[in-house]
Structure 1
């Protein structure tokens, strides 16, 4: 399924005060998601020759049988690949520095290890491994990626959990349960598998969204949530931005579904593009979300996005920092970074091309210095580290971004 969430969604009282050194927890004590920085991890890039069962340019191209090129591409940001042992030649022109335009494969264990090393070095506590419908041709590759993520998380002292994305998954109600029972639940035996309140963490993303790929009625969604809770899991809901009023991107009538989750993580990609947008949510959405979660014993884990690089939304880190600052002041229980490696939407924090020297010549793909401010490839990882320290009370609460771009 050659889909990203943007395909379906882009069209559509403070508990921590400034200077405080303590985070307030509504429903749960600190664990592997409460009081922590979680990053969404796609792990869905492959290349011919990497050994992956899918044997194609998985998520790099529109036509996976052909290499990515200016006319056959699914990426909008170009990764910095200098830390990877294996890379794969594309049909793009050479980079601005004359080197070949090569991409990484998530299927290489060294790639996953490198990603988790970056997480370790930059305060990313937990990785949410995205798991779309695994019953089709992508299934064997997705199964293998779960094992690779477990190995990397154990090696680099990170936590991970399975995050089911129900997008377009017609038989989700039965097949998600079967997949958990037959395959994914075994990963909870790993010391690196995330736990909250003593329970293994599972996230289900997509219930209640008002689009043609999330059409299950509330009773079906509630059945799935309660089934996972019956399995002893702590269940996170990746829910619509406007889940509480039940409008805009949310279908009406799903509030009981949302309230059944142990933690709520409303989606934010495509919702804000500037500082005014971030402040709008701080003034009009996040406090109300937090208050409702408090009233129902639910933990609140809103998204933080770096911004779409290709669209010029990042403001060399100021957009991301404003969200860290605002959400810390709200007193949220956790933060979810959307995403670690989402080069398809341009919202990645993983190392990214710094300048035109590191993107294919003539491609019009923007590098991190797109607004005239030089930024090192790891800038958004370092920004995440500083935002996490502020959120955890390990650094002052400040509206002024402390992270130097270089």
Structure 2
């Protein structure tokens, strides 16, 4: 999912331990009286990650069997679409790029998402780090445009299903309607003829006893449809027995034209990636966060805010390197803190494997020794603190615990950087 970044000023913000304890006590009491639309299930009261699963490599045996999403054939200096270089040490098969060796002398190789071993590894990381559920992205505009894309997406779902079943995680289909001109009819056909069958899996996410489906781009600028179309599609999925999440723009409550469509959804998920910067930016969003949650509660809807670790896409599009800094975990933690401090029980982290926009929490290059020596990539030590490749997975684990009330509310993350 792509949105331009908006840069805001970052300043520090700290609380004393005494005030944190007071806030924690208040949270514990308030949590007992907040009336939520739904009880805890596979998405309410859980931490969900967006899962792209869109990377391909030449020779991987996929429907494309060529470089996909990483960059051109082959990815090489100046020809790369990702901001971060992944840590590939746990994948059994990787593929040679056109880059020079990594700083540590190892060959510059990448992974394919069209691999059961890779998907298994990702879901193992999810289990190890308390990630409850993955929203598997399904980009509708490509399904009819290129049969290879349709076959890729259709073939990838069973891999995700198998991995989720193996590692005790949940997953659900998240449709992205960007550029999908005929989505009103085609999404219904795709669901009934291809995707609905996967809901029989024990790993397919259910909320209120209903299979979950997400529609991203409802009311978002530049996405197809209008109030009547979005209302029709949301309600159609509800007639299919689904629990419907909609991904909407950050300021959705100011959109009176489309409010009747928003009101049909079971869960509202405003998209915030790129729209805030630093601790001050995260704190400035609190009033919106609180008002969104109150609106959803008053309309018997669930609410799922989006948190992200940082943002940059200088290798893929224009923009500054390290445009929205991660602040060695402090930025993401502040978002978790604000969600918990507002008694909100659910969160989506964007994204698990989005190396393109620099939002991935999956394992990534720690420093220059783990990236190609002849190309810029954002590394996890960019903000002056050395972080292990799994730091953001572990930070997400601790954030999930805090939001669920399993550890106290704390302004400073407890996660070790190494």
**TM-score bracket for this pair, using the shorter chain length:** over 0.9
Partner secondary structure for residue 294 of structure 1: helix
TM-score by length of 1: 0.93
Structure (1 or 2) with the greater helix fraction: 2
Equivalence for 1:249 = none
Asked if the contact 1:123/1:388 (under 8 Å) is kept, the reply is: yes
Deviations 1:141-171 (A, max 9, x none): 0111111100000000000000000000011
**Mapping of 1:271-310 within 5 angstroms?**
271-282=275-286, 284-308=287-311, 310=322
Listed as ranges, the gaps of 5+ residues in structure 2 are: 8-21, 313-321
Asked if the contact 1:34/1:333 (under 8 Å) is kept, the reply is: yes
Give, in angstroms, the shift of residue 10 of structure 1.
3.9
Separation (CA, whole Å) in 2 of partners of 1:183 and 1:101: 37
State which of 72, 78, 83 in structure 2 corresponds to 1:71.
78
**Mapping of 1:364-375 within 5 angstroms?**
364-375=376-387
Give, in angstroms, the shift of residue 314 of structure 1.
0.3
**Mapping of 1:189-268 within 5 angstroms?**
189-211=200-222, 214-246=223-255, 253-268=257-272
Does residue 88 (structure 1) correspond to residue 92 (structure 2)? The answer is: no
Separation (CA, whole Å) in 2 of partners of 1:17 and 1:298: 26
State which of 130, 139, 152 in structure 2 corresponds to 1:141.
152
Equivalence for 2:362 = 350
Give, in angstroms, the shift of residue 216 of structure 1.
1.1
Separation (CA, whole Å) in 2 of partners of 1:232 and 1:166: 21
Separation (CA, whole Å) in 2 of partners of 1:389 and 1:237: 25
Matched length: 387
Equivalence for 1:33 = 43
Equivalence for 2:12 = none
Shift of the 370–11 alpha-carbon distance from structure 1 to 2, 3 Å rule, reads: closer
Separation (CA, whole Å) in 2 of partners of 1:344 and 1:351: 14
State which of 353, 359, 373 in structure 2 corresponds to 1:361.
373
Separation (CA, whole Å) in 2 of partners of 1:149 and 1:96: 33
Deviations 1:199-227 (A, max 9, x none): 0000000011122xx13111011100000
Quote the RMSD (CA, aligned, Å).
1.5
TM-score by length of 2: 0.90
Asked if the contact 1:204/1:235 (under 8 Å) is kept, the reply is: yes
Equivalence for 1:5 = 2
Equivalence for 2:328 = 316
